[in-house]
Structures are given as structure tokens and as C-alpha cells.
Amino acid sequence: MGRNGINRRNFMQQSAMFAAAFAAGSGGMFRQAQAAREKELNILCWEGYNSAEVLDPFRTEMDATVKAESLTNDPTMINRLRAGETNVWDLINVNNPWARKIMYPEGLIKPLDKATFEPYFANMLPGFEWPYPWCMSEDGSELLGMIQRFGPYSFVVNTDKVSRATAEDVGWDLFNDPANAGKYGILESDDWNVFDICLIAGFDPFRDHTDDEVAKFAETASKVFKGAKVVGDIATMNQAFVAGEIDFHMTGGVYSASPARADGFLNIRGITPNKGPMPGGKGGVAWIEVTSLVNNPELSPLASKFLEYVQDPEVSHTVAFAEGTFNPVTQMGDPKCFELFTPDELEAIQWDSLGEEMAKSAEYDIVPDYDKLLDLMTAAKREASGG
């Protein structure tokens, strides 16, 4: 027997007992954490899903605490997960390429149960049928999120000043015409403005760019920001339209024009150019939101339930017209959902041209040299403002 009465056999027995006790304690703590999260849900999202109109019925039905934080920039949301906030959030709602190309490969999100969610695709609009590529992993084996809101997003005009036909035909060259300096605004939206400045400069944003193209981008950014009369948020842009201060603005579309259109200002209209420098000659860009389960080690069981909840026809309509901005939803393929939209609501979201505009748009994607272009655009904005 060794010192203090402990031999190798006793040591191994006691070690096994300690390990078992620790495991039991850890399991108990884990179960307690899981139980605590059964009535808690945290959502990181674009505006709309943070609306009380959307969340309160779910809170009541589940008797749960639901918190939602809204941001207006996909990379910022994703960087928060990268910084450790996978322990905070249960759902993340961002634009279409990020789940498939970035978040799933980096282990930031986890797949959905296909048996539960695949049937919902049967009620979606044409073009969003199962298996919708942006919802799937690159190899097609995993379902990474659910889609709902979408829309074309290029620029907006006051059709009393610039006709829809002219805007669609001239396209991005409206911003290249020196005669238009001082007649337009710029919506604060960094990623989209990077896209638009590429398009104004005459090249596809969603690929690597040559040195000459980067130089052209810097030149174009400087010109565009110096020619802007107003730089601000959606409310600022729509107020400037109503006041007659601007004739058009970038970036914009149904998402930004819809609040003014819902108030009866149907002369404010999102425009998708007829042609542009992207594959297939497409001139506009469209977004499709994908909502995914965060790879939270203590993921709330309410996360999947919320994704099912928002597929309901009435809830889908509420999401489409949640406070803030108004947008079409993929669930409008279900007659039970579509019939909830009034003629005025369909007018607000430009239903009359939605299919045509989506067909003329490339889908939001990742700009490979985004950081470089963003720095150049930020410098141009600072120079234009005298900062």
C-alpha cells in the first residue's frame, strides 16, 4: 500500500467514481440549461421578424420569452456569430448566399429536419420549389434554412420625373449622366451600394475584378457620391421623394419604396433595368432571405417551431406587411395566403411586375473583393461629405 493508503487499484477506482460523478453533474447542468431554453428564443434578423405583430402571437402561444435584434448588414450579423455569439442566438435571418457558402461551411449554422420542412415548399411561388438551391448545402444533402421574403432591389424613381420606361431602358447610366448630379439620393446600405457602383461602372459585382476595374470602381464611387443630394435611410429617401427634392435613388426597390406606395404615393416605384453587365445580360439584383438554425450548443427547441409558425398563411401575410417595409413572400404560392393580400397591398409591393423584375435580376451573391471595394467606397463617401 502506498503513501496515504492509496494504491494504483484504489486510485483507478476513485478516479472512475469522480469521473462518473462529474459526468452526472455535467449532464444535470446540461439538462437544466436545456430546460431553461425551452421557453426562450433569440433571433438575429432583418427588420420585420423583430416586429411585435409577428412575435407576440408566438410568445403567447408558446408562453415564451422571445427576443429579436434587427440589423441591416449581413456581414455584421455573420461576424457576430464568428465572434462567439453562436451561444446567444437561435435563428439568423440573412440574404441568400451566406448560409450555403459561408455559415454552414464555417460551422455557424446547423441543418433543418428535411422531413419536417420539405413539405412547405409545395406551397411556394414558382421558382422557389424544392429543392431550392440557396436553401441547400453545396452537395444538396442538407436543408440549411427556410425562405420567405424576397424582392428586386436596384434603384427607385419618381415616375412623375423619370418614367418607368426611361428608367428601365437607361438603367444604371442614369447615375453616369452629369446632368443628373444633385437630382438623386443614396440609401445607406454598404453591401448593396458596392453592387450598384460596380453596375454603374459597367461590370458584374459578383466576381473577382481586374486592377483596371478596381480603379474604375474608385472613380465611379467618387463621382456618384459627389453627385448625391441626399444620403440617408429609407424614411429619408421617401420623404425626399415626396418633397420633390430627388428624382431617383440607389439602392432601392420594393423593399424601400413600399412604405411610400402603401401611403398612396404610387409614383414612387422600384426599377429593374432591362439590361446590364451580369451573366445573361441581367441588369438588376434580387434578394431572397434565408432563415437558419444557429449552431448554438444549447439551441432552443422553439427555433424550429418558429420556422414552422411563420409558414402559416396568416403569419406569412403578417411577415409581408410587418411594420417598417413591405415585401412579397414565397408563401404567396398558397392560395390561402395570396387571398389575404388586398389590391392596395399588392399595389404596394408591385405585384404587377414582380415576376418580370425577378427574371431580369441576378440573385444577391458574395463579392470576392468586397473589403477592398468597400474601403474605396467609404473613402469616396468621406471625401464627398468633406470628412
Give the lowest-confidence range in 171-175, 212-216, 306-310, 322-326.
322-326
Q: Are 12 and 106 within one domain?
A: no
What is the Cα–Cα distance from 380 to 387, expressed in whole angstroms?
10
Instruction: Please list the residues that pair with 155 across neighbouring strands.
Output: 250, 271
Residue range of the domain that includes 261: 151-285+364-385
Q: Are 59 and 94 within one domain?
A: yes
Residue 358, in any domain of the structure: no
Long-range contacts of 189-194 (CB under 8 A, 24+ apart): 189/72, 189/73, 189/251, 190/73, 190/374, 190/377, 190/378, 191/73, 191/74, 191/75, 191/367, 191/370, 191/374, 192/153, 192/251, 192/285, 193/250, 193/251, 193/377, 194/367, 194/370, 194/373, 194/374, 194/377
H-type alpha helices, the chain: 8-37, 52-62, 74-82, 97-98, 114-117, 164-170, 190-201, 211-227, 234-242, 254-262, 302-309, 313-320, 335-338, 343-348, 354-359, 370-385
Q: Are 48 and 28 within one domain?
A: no
Q: Are 141 and 230 within one domain?
A: no
Residue 337, in any domain of the structure: yes
Q: What would the pLDDT profile of 84-124 be if each residue is shown by its tens digit?
A: 999 999 999 999 999 999 999 999 999 999 999 999 999 99
> Whose CA is closest to 44, among 109, 136, 133?
109
Q: Are 215 and 255 within one domain?
A: yes
Going by the DSSP 8-state scheme, the letter that residue 329 receives in this structure is B
Going by the DSSP 8-state scheme, the letter that residue 207 receives in this structure is S
Q: Are 294 and 220 within one domain?
A: no
Give the lowest-confidence range in 29-38, 169-178, 195-204, 250-259.
29-38
Q: What would the pLDDT profile of 35-84 be if each residue is shown by its tens digit?
A: 569 999 999 999 999 999 999 999 999 999 999 999 888 999 999 999 99
Q: Are 27 and 111 within one domain?
A: no
Going by the DSSP 8-state scheme, the letter that residue 171 receives in this structure is G
Average pLDDT, the chain: 92
Residue 242, in any domain of the structure: yes
Q: Are 160 and 278 within one domain?
A: yes
User: What are the distances in angstroms from CA 220 to CA 77, 182, 270?
Assistant: 28, 15, 22
Residue 26, in any domain of the structure: yes
What is the Cα–Cα distance from 261 to 267, expressed in whole angstroms?
8
Residue 359, in any domain of the structure: no
Q: Are 271 and 160 within one domain?
A: yes
CATH classification of the domain holding 244: 3.40.190.10
Residue 357, in any domain of the structure: no
Does the CA dihedral 356-362-365-371 come out positive or negative? negative
Q: Are 165 and 277 within one domain?
A: yes
What is the Cα–Cα distance from 168 to 162, expressed in whole angstroms?
10
Q: Are 271 and 300 within one domain?
A: no
**How many structural domains is the chain composed of?**
3
Residue 356, in any domain of the structure: no
Q: What would the pLDDT profile of 246-301 be if each residue is shown by its tens digit?
A: 999 999 999 999 999 999 999 999 999 999 999 999 999 999 999 999 999 999 99
What is the Cα–Cα distance from 125 to 354, expressed in whole angstroms?
12
What is the Cα–Cα distance from 276 to 272, expressed in whole angstroms?
10
Residue 196, in any domain of the structure: yes
Q: Are 182 and 232 within one domain?
A: yes
